[in-house]
Amino acid sequence: MIDFEVPKPIAQQRVALQTVAENMMRPVSRYFDEHEHEVPWDYINFMNMAMRAMGAGYLAPREEKKNGDKPKEKRPPIGYQSLAFMLESLSWGDVGLYLVTPGGGLGAAAVEATGTPEQKKKFLARFSEDKPTFGAMAMTEPQAGSDTSAIRTTAVLDRQNNEWILNGEKIFVTGGHKSLELSDGLVVVWATIDPSAGRAGMRPFVVEAGTPGVKVTKMEHKLGIRASDTVSIVLQDARLPFENILGSPEVEAKTTRGFKGAMATFDATRPLVAATGIGVARATLELLKELLEQQGVHIRYGLPRQKLTSIEKDFIDMEVMLHSAWLLVIKAVWMADNRKHNPLEASMSKVRAGDVVTKITQKAVEIMGPLGYSRDHLLEKWFRDAKITDIYEGTGQINRLIVARNILDYSGRELR
């Protein structure tokens, strides 16, 4: 059963993270929004040390260590719950800066979801080193957005040299520049080993920084999350060791094991993306309340709805939306920690958070009028940052389809 009391380790971590968000992220939030592609090394280096001191990581929770011959009493796992609270707090500070926090990110999550124990040990070790290291995942292509079965990036096995040769182009890769060019990181690239097999031929490959034939070709200029890099990557005869394929290299008829590996990655990370949206929404409501109070408008809780002003009704409705979305996130990450199948809950949390943060930031700008639209405050920036929550790691439309399929017990072919 879910316990809604915040675990003590997470509560302590939140205090530290909120301090970082308030004192290190907020003061430079506007600067890095206006200086897109400038790397915030002060923040990166500080967070690299701070997260190691806090013991915060980007991977699933590890088993309890033994104390001599007597094992410690096992506590409920809180790895993904801890990450959700961490990401919410850092996104309250600045969601673009959060996205440049050192760590494995989606790349590590993909390795964790699809790799063997040996592969996890090998590829994830780099994120335990002292220097800042980044990971990313590359799936989207110019002709393959939400329809992952249309992926054309190929991986051909060179049996003589026991290497995979990858060719193709990936676009909209979050953190690809930092992972491949600014650190000894990695990108998990999804490619097909058999184009005729559709999703059954999809496989993830670990592409490490410095791999010949891999090049970042474009850095996007974006509406929001401008402190984070989003890039295109071209793979031209990129050779990878045979063991860099995650999962089986065999294509089995009527099997979508590779595709299911991608979905397992998203089941773990979609609630975390939702948590980032919750952080932006919370920041918006807190500032909106402060600005309203400066103008003599106070929210009178406890009164009958018909006695409230229009602004009071709107504000209370937004608070309800925010808390309901956060509860969905908590449920989804609790299930992930307890190894419970959570595709329905993961997509529900992502859909709700994407809707909520978009509506709250838009309404805040509307309520404040010219002040909300101006650059005097961060409301307009948060409005721009909000929309990405509804787009990356599965659009709102795709996640609604996943929710419907799970509730109605339909397959992807039956409900499109």
Q: Per the structure block, which two tokens stand in for 230?
A: 């989003």
Residue ranges per structural domain of the chain: 120-255, 258-408
Instruction: Return the minimum-mean-pLDDT range out of 149-163, 224-238, 260-274, 310-324.
Output: 260-274
**pLDDT score of 4 more than 80:** no
**For the segment 317-363, what is each residue's pLDDT rounded down to a tens digit?**
999 999 999 999 999 999 999 989 999 999 999 999 999 999 999 99
pLDDT at 64: 40
**For the segment 244-292, what is each residue's pLDDT rounded down to a tens digit?**
999 888 866 555 555 566 667 788 899 999 999 999 999 999 999 999 9
Helices 310-337 and 343-368 meet at what angle, rounded to 10?
A: 160
For domain 258-408, give its CATH number from 3.40.50.2300, 3.40.50.10490, 1.20.140.10, 3.40.50.880.
Answer: 1.20.140.10
pLDDT at 60: 38
Task: Produce one character per residue of 71-106: b if its CB has 16 or more CB atoms within 10 Å, e if not.
Answer: eeeeeebbbbbbbbbbbbbbbbbbbbbbbbbbbbbb
Do strands 202-208 and 230-241 pair parallel, antiparallel, or not at all (unpaired)?
Answer: unpaired
- DSSP run (H or E) holding 195: none
Distance separating alpha carbons of residues 191 and 56, to the nearest angstrom:
31
- Calculate the average pLDDT of the chain: 90
- DSSP run (H or E) holding 405: helix 396-408
Q: 120 falls in which pLDDT band (50, 70, 90)?
A: very high
**For the segment 177-228, what is each residue's pLDDT rounded down to a tens digit?**
999 999 999 999 999 999 888 888 999 999 999 999 999 999 999 999 999 9
DSSP 8-state symbol, 156: E
Active site residues: 393
Distances (CA, A) of 163 to 158, 193, 249: 5, 13, 12
Distance separating alpha carbons of residues 57 and 196, to the nearest angstrom:
39
pLDDT above 70 covers a percentage of the chain that reads: 91
pLDDT at 76: 59
pTM: 0.91
**For the segment 23-36, what is each residue's pLDDT rounded down to a tens digit?**
999 999 999 999 99
Q: Per the structure block, which two tokens stand in for 13?
A: 């971590």
**pLDDT score of 82 more than 80:** yes
C-alpha neighbours within 13 Å on the C-beta side of residue 321: 24
pLDDT at 257: 54
Q: What is the mean pLDDT of residues 122-129?
A: 92
Which CATH superfamily groups domain 120-255?
Answer: Butyryl-CoA Dehydrogenase, subunit A, domain 2 (2.40.110.10)
- Residue 289, number of CB atoms within 10 A of its CB: 17
- 3-state SS string over 326-337? HHHHHHHHHHHH
pLDDT at 62: 41
Instruction: Return the minimum-mean-pLDDT range out of 53-62, 195-204, 291-300, 396-405.
Output: 53-62
DSSP string, 196-209: GGGGGGEEEEEEET
pLDDT at 66: 47
pLDDT at 91: 98
Q: What is the mean pLDDT of residues 309-319?
A: 98
Query: Tokens 């609790």 belong to which residue?
Result: 334
Instruction: Return the minimum-mean-pLDDT range out of 98-107, 234-243, 248-257.
Output: 248-257
Nearest by Cα to 170 from 151, 193, 195, 149? 151
